[in-house]
Amino acid sequence: MTLAAFIAAWALHLAAAASPGPAVLMAARTGITEGLRTGVFLGVGLGLGAVFWACAALFGLALLFQTAPALLWGFKLAGGLYLCWIALQMWRHAATPLDMGETGRLPRSPLSALRLGLLTQLSNPKPAVFFGAVFLGTVPAGAAPWVIAALLGVVFLNEVACNVLVARLFSFDRPRRAYLRLKASIDRGFGGLLALLGLKIAAT
């Protein structure tokens, strides 16, 4: 694999990682509600989920979905319903005041934030389709193991960097103060967008 091809694969995935979707939406909300530290662990979980999908594409998941379309349909349905469930929780608790405490952050543990990021990414078929239909085409047949490892490292770093940046931008004091004033409306807005994404994933 040439250096130019490697850079092209990196840039292609970076654009996909930065595009709006459930991961970016979750990173934004986490940055507002829980701050940068939690956003970092969420980003790591999202990065691990992306690496899982990249590995699955490299080792034949796309072929499995092609030979058994019902599996892809079932997976998309389950993923869409999971995102809708998260959206429902946001909507139900939108009017509940936050106990921000002295630090200004909710007491979510790093493991809980990482798990949320991982499950959000695994429930989203968007990266599965991207890696299986687009990213895989940039990897030449018979690529050396160290090239595969480097590509997976790039995928992880792209996802973490993009989502931590989003969490950071939304963790500044001004967005956080605005969130505290408008929590019910913002949470319902986030929940509504996530539900629409979930329904779109399940239906297409």
Mean pLDDT of all residues in 25-33: 86
Percent of the chain with pLDDT over 70: 74
175 lies in a domain? yes
Percent of the chain with pLDDT over 90: 20
196 lies in a domain? yes
Among the ranges given (42-51, 110-119, 176-185), the one the predictor scored with the smallest mean pLDDT: 176-185
36 lies in a domain? yes
Terminal Cα distance for the chain, rounded: 34
Question: Is the pTM for the entire model greater than 0.85?
Answer: no
User: What's the number of domains the chain is made of?
Assistant: 1
pLDDT digits (tens, 9 = 90+) for 122-139: 887 777 777 766 676 677
Range of the domain at 73: 22-203
Contact 36/167 with Cβ under 8 angstroms?
Answer: yes
136 lies in a domain? yes
Average pLDDT, the chain: 78
